[in-house]
Structure 1
Amino acid sequence: MNRTLQEIIGLILSLKETNPFLQVLSSPSKTAVWRNIMEAVAFMIFNFQEAVNLHMKEIDDKIANQKVPRLPWYRNEALRFQYGFDLIPETDQFSSTYEDNGVQIEATPEQVEASKIIKYVAVTRSKSNTGKIKISMKIAGENTDEVLSDEKALAFKKFIEEIQAAGDDIVILNFLPDILKQDIEICYDPLVLLPNGMSIVSGKFPVRDTISRFLLNLPFNGELSVQKLLEEIKATEGVIDLNKLNIQSKWIEPGVGYGQFQPITISRIPKSGRFKIEDWSGITYINYQPQE
């Protein structure tokens, strides 16, 4: 059980009170010798407790990230990939130097950090109808609206091939974002919004901002819930009510490009790991008056 320092002091005090030989130690002074000894012991117990907790956390982390081809291990390996640096022979560790005009130069911390181009990773495992296991690795760089260049993607693929477990079938998905399309009628408040959805006060488009923020807050490869999205839109200032007509998305098909838009009924996990909106024309605003 984790106890605060004050809880440990209180426990020691209560134990002292139950011991008839220690009940004579009753001075209320904060500088009393017995109290200082008690607080010193409590502080040592508290620090020992914290050290044990830290040790257990380190053990848990080592177990979770040990060099066994589990999905979290593959994810961590992808994030530590360093573009432009080679692996040390017979190891899976990157060299800390690079060659410049025939001279080995020690890389600076800034250069090492800049070389870590994989910023978002999602690793999943699926089984085909034939029972074959496939590992899908969705990746993205700092700018999630773009894909990694062919050169960077090739270097990353080579790295994964060198460190992966023998027999694992890994498919790397370096795709442009899935395109999200929404056809929604917004019943707007004319006191707050203009007929095009612009805020009268700020000049911004609150509904667009809400949707963009919702997508931004989704974790990489996170599930988009249509119901949660609509709830966020309905809670936007200037929105009285709404009518969902259609929510759709399309994604990259390998060797083909973007396919056709497919309806999202309840939720969807993006094939690329994230969504993007290119066209806002599907959001229309109506000054709705209920029928009497």
Structure 2
Amino acid sequence: MSRTIKEIYNEAVRERNRRLELTEFASDSKLSVMNGVLWVVATVIYSFETLLDVFTVDISEAINNRINGTPNYYANVLLKYQQGDELIVREDGLAFGYAQVDESKQIITQVSYVENTDDSNIDSKLILKIATGAKGHLEAIPAVELLPINAYISKLKFAGTRIEVISTKGDVLVPRLTVFYDGAVPEAEMYDAIEERIREYIMGIDFDAAVYVSRLTDAIRAAEHITDVYIDDAAVPVQGVFIACHDTDGHIQPLQRIERMTYTASGYLKESSRKDEEAELPTFREAITLRLENYEI
């Protein structure tokens, strides 16, 4: 932190008075030539120290904002990937880049990361999950497109860094719940409202965020005319909130019940398409059991 002009001036005066060869110039008058020179010099020194303070702050911010080689760096790099374009070396020869930025070719819209360690490797592996599409309507990037994406990240990664980029189909959400309503509207309208609330819940979840059973049931309960959301332990099939993940080969895995919360394998949720390997998984409407509230009990 820079000193004040007064502090610099007083220090200069003390230093002057210590030197015998300058004692004849000693004076308490602020109008003396020597004190005037000292004040001007103090002002110049103060200006220089202030510039150094500004420079130090700027350098610190630049260093702190530098994320080269960190997980965030690779996540940001993937968001800038341009499908079909070739990386070229910059004119200064210090990095790769695209000849022209084209946002229409930037197909990766969501990225998250996790560091994975195993006993066979001392260094951890950085696993980057990616997806394309708008939030709430995310999709996996086809395997054929993952090849150039991995080649792209290999050119940009730092030597010795172990990185794997994956993109899998969304985890299928199966909310097997009993929902009670007041009977003020038709059953079909209630199912529509419940589906809308579930989709809004999915839309509100950040990519690769935790999935909570209580937040899903709260979202459904917030629909108009719904009186309760209940997990019936005696129901067949067994009720609860379930998800079915896809592996990296695109094959569906068995349904897993969420006890309280979990994380998705793909980073996002979706409804069963009722096609191919998802043919046996119910849609939101099919999974929900709707019951009329009996106020006489």
Is TM more than 0.5 here?
A: yes
Q: Secondary structure of the equivalent of 1:205? A: helix
Contact residue 179 and residue 226 of structure 2 kept, 8 A? yes
CA distance in 2, matches of 1:243, 1:57: 57
Q: What are the superposed Cα offsets for residues 213-270 of structure 1, whole Å, 9 maximum, x if unpaired?
A: 1111101111111111111211211110111231111111234611101111111111
Give 1:40's aligned residue. none
Counterpart check, 1:123 vs 2:113: yes
Mapping of residues 169-248 of structure 1, within 5 Å:
169-191=162-184, 193-196=185-188, 198-199=189-190, 205-244=192-231, 245-248=239-242
Using the TM superposition, give the Cα deviation of residue 166 of structure 1 relative to its aligned residue in structure 2, in angstroms. 2.0
CA distance in 2, matches of 1:190, 1:61: 62
Using the TM superposition, give the Cα deviation of residue 145 of structure 1 relative to its aligned residue in structure 2, in angstroms. 4.2
Give 1:66's aligned residue. 67
Unpaired segments of 5 or more residues in structure 1? 1-51, 97-106
Using the TM superposition, give the Cα deviation of residue 132 of structure 1 relative to its aligned residue in structure 2, in angstroms. 4.7
Contact residue 166 and residue 248 of structure 2 kept, 8 A? no
Instruction: Report the RMSD for the aligned CA atoms in angstroms.
Output: 2.5
Contact residue 65 and residue 72 of structure 1 kept, 8 A? no
Unpaired segments of 5 or more residues in structure 2? 1-53, 232-238, 273-282
Q: What amino acid sits opposite 1:266 in the alignment?
A: R
Give 2:153's aligned residue. 160
TM-score (ref. length: structure 1):
0.68
Give 1:93's aligned residue. 96
Q: What amino acid sits opposite 1:167 in the alignment?
A: G
Counterpart check, 1:282 vs 2:283: no
CA distance in 1, matches of 2:58, 2:195: 42
Q: What are the superposed Cα offsets for residues 32-90 of structure 1, whole Å, 9 maximum, x if unpaired?
A: xxxxxxxxxxxxxxxxxxxx8xx9799647624432x1111111111111222222235
Contact residue 137 and residue 170 of structure 1 kept, 8 A? yes
Length, aligned pairs only: 219
TM-score (ref. length: structure 2):
0.67
Using the TM superposition, give the Cα deviation of residue 123 of structure 1 relative to its aligned residue in structure 2, in angstroms. 1.3
